[in-house]
Amino acid sequence: MPEIAVPLALGMRHERLALGLSGFFAAASIRAADTLLPALSRDFGISAGKTGVAVTSFMLAYAAFQLIYGPLAERYGKLRVIAAALLACAVANFSQSLAPGFEWLVVVRAIAGAAAAGVIPICLARLGDTEPLVSRQSLLARYSVATICGLMTGQWVSGLVADTLGWRAAFVLLAAGFACVAAILASLARRDETAGDWRRGAPGPRPGPATLLKSAWVRRVLCMTLLLGLLCPSVFAFVPTYLKLHFALSLAAAGAITSMHGIGGLLYAGFAPALIRSVGRRRLARLAAALLGVGMACIALGQHWLWIAAGCLCAGCGYYIVLNAMQTAATQMAPSQRANAVALFAFCLFAGQGLGVLLAARLVDTAGIPALFAISGALVILLILELSRQLLPRLDATPP
């Protein structure tokens, strides 16, 4: 099926703004619990490592439900699925604020992850439908501003609210934001004409995500995505805990320092179009490896919280360079099944994060957080260098 570039009319601007708000709140919900882990450890009387299960339950549910949302978006329309997922996020986050015990919180956190799974990946698929490949990586970099701001806000504001009103209030605030954006997307979805396109495109049942795995190219992209999630973003869930326990900082301060990871991403997003044109994807990937290596080393070896902040900034910039390239590859794996392709990509990324948090929690309890960052930093550099050698040349050779 050939790609069709939709002109950026006023209605499309409104849609992209709504998609940005959706990504903002979904991203905020993904990382909101990171800063709350010390408070959960204190209130429920469990170790810092064990509180990571609250992060893992969200991530694994988020990953698993990608396999459901992709086909739903192909069948019923991407905007409709996003609106329904946002409403479910509002209900799930409010339920988290009522959790009577840690086990209950873990279960409801998993439900919240299942709901949030239908937001950002389907937004990316919708953007891929409306933007040609030649300018898509720049558009996705700009869209990442919304998700990065959401991650930063989730980490910082959740800590600030927890210090003043308690950790339950942080989930109430998220629920209110999701409810507002769900109403906006529901209005846009009622005017969406693409819901039945799959029926008009070809007779018979629509192929599911599993059919894409027959392609060696798709399998290679997904394998590298799984390893990226396993090695990089999962370890940053423990930075607030490290800052709280090792440097005796408040949760609000720990969240603000950790949000420097997002500032690094914003720096890349601001310069992405110029960098992609002048440097190219492969050299940009090598720069990402260097930035991640320096950032992880600062966190592992730093003896002052300023080193941790600098490490988060460098590592965040490097990570979002790589993630942007991987997202672009995901939107081009199967243009005729873009929702399924991006859903598989998100499944691998967040399955890697969920499993990575489990492994990281074990390492945190036995060897400590500095060792976690030292090991992860070395491995992720090797992964990115391999990515620049195998994956990015194929993407550069793809016609627009």
- pLDDT computed for residue 209 by the predictor: 65
Place of tokens 């439908």: 129
Amino acid at 222: L
The band of 400, judged by pLDDT with boundaries at 50, 70 and 90, is very low
Average pLDDT over residues 216-228: 87
Res 182 pLDDT > 70: yes
Higher pLDDT, 223 or 40: 223
Res 43 pLDDT > 60: yes
The band of 84, judged by pLDDT with boundaries at 50, 70 and 90, is very high
Higher pLDDT, 230 or 251: 230
Cβ 60 vs Cβ 72: under 8 Å: no
- Range of weakest confidence among 41-55, 123-137, 213-227: 41-55
Check residue 205 and report its DSSP letter: P
Amino acid at 241: T
Cβ 317 vs Cβ 264: under 8 Å: yes
Token pair for 103: 């086990």
- Range of weakest confidence among 23-37, 47-61, 118-132, 220-234: 47-61
Nearest-angstrom CA–CA distance, 157 and 161:
6
Residue percentage of the chain with pLDDT more than 90: 10
- Rg of the chain over CA atoms, in angstroms? 20
Nearest-angstrom CA–CA distance, 349 and 60:
10
Residue percentage of the chain with pLDDT more than 70: 89
Q: Which of 57-61, 88-92, 120-124 has the highest mean pLDDT?
A: 88-92
Q: Is 302 helix (H, G, I), strand (E, B) or coil?
A: coil
Nearest-angstrom CA–CA distance, 188 and 99:
33
The pLDDT tens digits for 356-380 are: 877 887 887 788 788 888 888 888 8
Cβ 209 vs Cβ 67: under 8 Å: yes
Superfamily of domain 10-197+212-397 in the CATH hierarchy: MFS general substrate transporter like domains (1.20.1250.20)
